[in-house]
Amino acid sequence: MTAQEVRLCGLLLREHFGELVEKVGTHLLRSGAQNLRTLIHETGISLDLVKKSLCVLVQHGVCVFSAGRKGPGSPTEYLTSSDHILRILRYPRYIYTAKTLYGDTGELIIEELLQRGDMTMSSTVKTVADRLTQNMEDGHSMDYSEVSNAFSKLVETHFLQRSTPATPGTPAVPVSTAPPSAESFPDCYRVPHVTLTGRGKRQLSSEDGEDQRNAKKARMDTETHGDEGIYWQVNFERFHLHFRDQAIISAVANKLGQTSSEIVRTMLRMSEVTTSPTATCTKPLSANEIFRSLPNSYSIARPILDQYLTLLVDDPMEFVGKAGESGGGMFVVNLHRALANLARATIESVVQERFGSRSARIFRLLLRKRHLEQKQVEDFAMIPAKEAKDMLYTLLSQNLVQLQVIFLSFIDIFSIYIFITVANLIERRLFETKDSKRLLEKSQRIEAILASLQASGAEPEQLSEVEEMITASEKQQLASLRLHINKLDSAENQVDETIFLLESYVNSTATAAS
């Protein structure tokens, strides 16, 4: 693990959980598995605070514990995973995907589970229903059954899964990124029967309602709904499979058009249940099955579908392959080849941006031919000898080429630059926010006052008087700050998409090799 990766993980832990959790988490990243006593001694943090920090890390799935390596009776050891910490970068994307697929209800369910690590179904349904009701007009509220249905759909499509009970077992090993399967955990995707009726409640905002809220909370704590002890968490791997499929569909749309991408989308949707997450290609599908499964909005004739399938099979990117002739032809989506081509295109674009089109031509040539002498590079790339020599030296000094080009090695080198970029973006965003902290707090106070006055039916004169508490120059400064922060957030998400694409290719290559 590189120092830049640890730095990025530390920034993410500090931003989401605070400095103490960051200190414990980064120490475990650098030192590996450690027991509680060693952690207290080496971090200099009190026993109580170390325990609380470990609870936060375990609760959010970035730390595991197991029996000590010295055998039975030895102290429990704790281990963190950088891969799981880096998933925090993807939280906005998980939430947006849930909103796209299942609306506002799905969005809030995923948001609550990401914020808390894991929750029972009944607790999640109540919290989400209350939040949705809070944003509805007076007299309207969200029924618990509607939220329960959305929760069940997320489980049925495997975006949510039950949390496995964490118990000390074998000596500590690196954390497995694979989610619990239905074979290893039969109840993984079984929704319990929950006795929950009612509607969401609006939050009481007056001071007089404090006693009522406390009494209500105490009453809710004693209620039972039939799912006590059954906790649910986000299935990150299922989201990652969805991201992978969307990347392939988007690439097909950009290269071959919308109809071709819809055919590939249909094939991927039909293969969701039957294809293993680690498979290099989908299960074979006949042309007849694909034709029957196409959306009604794409009412294309069968001969036209055959032409599109032939176009996809003959395309050099090899998104789709042919696996037989029965049923009008058997077709598969080449997942590994698609990821390899997407990763290659990403890296080639980086080389072109940093070193120019001619260097990218040399780099592309070396990837395709594997081994070339300098004279062959000059001839094939049609570049003068002096320029070719300079460009090869530049690529060599940046570790982009060696005596032979090793694509996976370059991805490892490239990932270091990615971690540096994301860490710099986060630090810049935190600096901008801290530098304008007073102005942001003032804006939030004014917005809260305005919301309170609007809820109580205040007159327009009162509202305009409150709005004037913030000057025109401050409004301009706030607008500029928010625009800048939005750009930084957008850049973080774009870099994370690149990280995901390269990670998917590396994992797919490792699976194909084994």
- CATH number for the segment(s) 241-333: 1.10.10.10
Pinpoint the residues of the chain covered by CATH 1.10.10.10.
3-80, 82-165+230-234, 241-333
Residue 466: what pLDDT?
78
**Rounded distance between C-alpha atoms, residue 298 and residue 435, angstroms:** 53
Q: Residue 120 has which token pair? A: 């029972």
CB within 8 A of 303, min separation 6: which ones? Answer: none
pLDDT in tens, the chain (514 residues): 678 888 889 999 998 998 999 999 999 999 888 888 988 999 899 999 999 999 999 988 888 888 777 767 778 889 998 889 989 999 999 999 999 999 999 999 999 999 998 888 888 988 898 888 887 777 778 888 888 899 999 998 889 988 876 544 444 444 444 455 554 566 788 888 877 777 777 765 544 445 555 555 545 555 776 777 888 999 999 999 999 999 999 999 998 888 899 999 999 988 877 788 888 888 888 888 888 888 887 778 888 888 988 999 888 888 898 887 776 778 899 988 888 888 888 877 877 877 777 777 777 777 776 666 667 666 677 777 777 777 776 766 666 665 444 555 556 666 777 888 888 888 888 888 888 888 888 888 888 887 777 777 777 777 787 777 878 888 888 888 888 888 888 888 888 888 888 888 888 877 776 6
- CATH number for the segment(s) 3-80: 1.10.10.10
Beta-carbon count within 10 A of 352 CB? 16
**Rounded distance between C-alpha atoms, residue 113 and residue 121, angstroms:** 10
**Rounded distance between C-alpha atoms, residue 51 and residue 249, angstroms:** 45
- CA distances (Å), 353 to each of 254, 346, 359, 423, 501, in order? 20, 11, 10, 21, 18
**Rounded distance between C-alpha atoms, residue 234 and residue 118, angstroms:** 8
CB within 8 A of 178, min separation 6: which ones? Answer: 237, 277
- CA distances (Å), 334 to each of 322, 439, 497, in order? 10, 52, 20
What's the distance, Cα to Cα, between the start and end of the chain in Å?
A: 23
DSSP-derived letter for residue 404 is S
pTM of the full predicted structure?
A: 0.79
CB within 8 A of 468, min separation 6: which ones? Answer: none
**Rounded distance between C-alpha atoms, residue 319 and residue 264, angstroms:** 8
Residue 93: what pLDDT?
92
**Rounded distance between C-alpha atoms, residue 384 and residue 375, angstroms:** 10
CATH class of 82-165+230-234: mainly alpha
